[in-house]
């Protein structure tokens, strides 16, 4: 899963460091990167990557399930009912947090470029 994100980051990084990189090209590259990562997030393919990881684990005779833990209760407010979060859902939420953070930081750089140079 992360290899797709890292490949996109690496390609953009190499293009940004090129001799022919200009500010408008940099802005366009960052915008494209943000859209690509947003697309990966919106596709919600975390389950696809879980299945791939389980296949790899099975081929290597490694335990392929999440550790079973006591379900964690998260109370939002006293009048709300507690929400139970299982390990798989927690993993998915953590992945979305990483995607959201990447998108946020890239958009912050785009705004900086737009504000200071255009």
| 109: nearest Cα among 9, 40, 1 | 9
Q: Which residues of 94-116 are buried (b: 16+ CB within 10 A; e: fewer)?
A: ebeeebeebbeebeeebeebeee
pLDDT band at 89 (very low <50, low <70, confident <90, very high): confident
Confirm whether pTM is higher than 0.75.
no
Of the two residues 62 and 111, the one the predictor is more confident about is 111
Compute how many other C-beta atoms are within 10 angstroms of the C-beta atom of residue 8: 16
Spatial distance between the Cα atoms of 82 and 45, rounded to a whole number of angstroms: 27
Would you say 33 and 106 are in contact if contact means Cβ atoms under 8 Å apart? yes
């Amino acid at each position: 899963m992360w290899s797709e994100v890292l490949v996109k980051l690496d390609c953009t990084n190499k293009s940004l460091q090129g001799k022919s990189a200009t500010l408008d090209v940099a802005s366009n590259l960052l915008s494209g990167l943000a859209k690509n990562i947003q697309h990966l997030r919106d596709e919600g393919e975390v389950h696809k990557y879980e299945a791939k990881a389980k296949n790899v684990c099975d081929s290597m005779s490694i335990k392929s399930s999440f550790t079973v833990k006591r379900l964690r209760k998260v109370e939002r407010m006293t009048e709300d009912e507690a929400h139970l979060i299982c390990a798989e859902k927690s993993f998915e939420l953590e992945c979305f947090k990483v995607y959201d953070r990447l998108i946020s930081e890239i958009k912050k750089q785009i705004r900086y470029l737009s504000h200071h140079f255009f």
